[in-house]
Structure 1
């Protein structure tokens, strides 16, 4: 992702509000929903906390509870807002079906699930384990994305289609990674101590399974339905079950 294309959260908020105002003017019925989701809020952090509460909470009390946790996280770690900004922009930059920020904000559950994870990660490392696991559980139940709070996920990440995604404890995912539907990333049962480490700019196709103490290098690609249990060098493509390497910058083989 080109750094020049990345706006700070303040600029993104102005653009998002502008898109919402245009949409509301074009469709007064839809505008009522936009007023609550975006135009009623003073800043990006307030709108995002409300979005998380709305999508995870069942009823007004739960909505308020989840939104309150999110606001606490954003106050406690303000760079979560810049990360959320990068995540949203990454969708507009990588998804050929859209060109604006408003559709993924309103309709892409993968974006909400990822921001809920970021709140759970903050709670986990702040010692609020039960609250962190509550976020994970509700995101799994409602949004079909389960990311353990002890995982580490970089900025500019795009969960495309975002159904059936499972990311286990201590998995490390770098910046600008794209993950499609029905992907599982975690430990192997016989090797409980280490989880996969995924580099920057990696693309993971639908249905892929990535297990064990392995490293995937920067800008590698993992094909759909691949079963991966060994390292993938930077820039290589892994396909098949068991995985084999292809299109590597230099000769390489799966161990």
Structure 2
């Protein structure tokens, strides 16, 4: 058994750690044993666990768990990048959220993480030309998690959506790698245009709670958007913007704002 665990840890260290934490969690809280076994320990891979959670959370009288499970299994089997992004997202939450103490927490309890993985399956469906099924997943994700991400939006890996209340990301939005955003963020349009009309968020950007980024504008890599800001124009790389409408108020203060999660306008702790 020890040898098998060692091999699994070498091949998939994230999933191995999730399983180890799950065993400890069952020991510490036996009343959650059924949930943890069915959600994690019953499965031989992270992909299978993610597919199970997806189907369990989004099933309804209109769509069975079995159909959703088969859909998710097909997505993960045909696109390994989905599960790799899920691993990167999980590590990002653990590294950046001080309320996250174990790898298994996002997988079982954090709706921002679960909503993001549901979006990823919807995006895969969209790419397969299965538009109506993608819209169904978007609808159920919004209903269950309060997160509304259009399946055509493009979102990178290592993304953290903290708290995740009232997140809206529009159809032509692009979000880079290693981005962090807090609750009530909107990446929206400014009118009824049908072409490219949503923001493009660079790698490593930190978007504060309640910020609205509107229109086909670019937010440069490693920048910060202060909480409550309304951004209507391009943001340069490595800058901090704040206000309504948002204006540049200084440098980002460090090389990775989305990782430091420091929202003081004077700069990031330990920054440059």
Please, what TM-score do these two structures have when normalized by structure 1? 0.91
Q: Give 5+ residue unaligned stretches, structure 2.
A: 1-8, 254-272
Are residue 94 (structure 1) and residue 87 (structure 2) matched? no
Deviation at residue 134 of structure 1 after TM alignment: 0.4
| Cα deviation code 1:30-78 (max 9, x no counterpart) | 1221111100111110000001111111369622222221111111111
Aligned 8 A contact 1:179 1:205 in 2: yes
Residue matched to 1:243: 246
Residue matched to 1:157: 159
Residue matched to 1:253: none
Residue matched to 2:5: none
Task: Supply the distance in 1 between the matched residues of 2:112 and 2:131 (Cα, whole angstroms).
Answer: 23
Residue matched to 2:229: 226
Aligned 8 A contact 2:223 2:252 in 1: no
Task: Supply the distance in 2 between the matched residues of 1:101 and 1:12 (Cα, whole angstroms).
Answer: 8
Residue matched to 2:87: 85
Task: Supply the distance in 1 between the matched residues of 2:85 and 2:54 (Cα, whole angstroms).
Answer: 15
Task: Supply the distance in 2 between the matched residues of 1:65 and 1:224 (Cα, whole angstroms).
Answer: 40
1:161 is paired with a residue whose SS is: coil
- Structural RMSD (CA): 1.9
Runs (4+) of structure 1 exceeding 4 A deviation are none
Aligned 8 A contact 2:224 2:252 in 1: no
Q: How many corresponding residue pairs?
A: 244
Q: Mean Cα displacement is larger for which, 129-138 or 178-187?
A: 178-187
Spell out the pairing of 1:61-72 with structure 2 (5 A cutoff).
Answer: 62-72=64-74
Q: 1:244 to 1:9 in 2, by over 3 A?
A: farther
Which of 21, 24, 37 is 1:22 aligned to?
24
Which of 129, 132, 137 is 2:131 aligned to?
129
Aligned 8 A contact 2:89 2:157 in 1: yes
Task: Supply the distance in 1 between the matched residues of 2:249 and 2:70 (Cα, whole angstroms).
Answer: 47
Spell out the pairing of 1:1-255 with structure 2 (5 A cutoff).
Answer: 10-58=12-60, 62-189=64-191, 191-194=193-196, 195-248=198-251
Deviation at residue 15 of structure 1 after TM alignment: 0.5
Q: Mean Cα displacement is larger for which, 111-120 or 240-249?
A: 240-249
2:64 is paired with a residue whose SS is: helix
Q: Give 5+ residue unaligned stretches, structure 1.
A: 1-6, 251-255
1:247 is paired with a residue whose SS is: strand
Aligned 8 A contact 2:239 2:251 in 1: yes
Deviation at residue 191 of structure 1 after TM alignment: 4.9
2:248 is paired with a residue whose SS is: strand
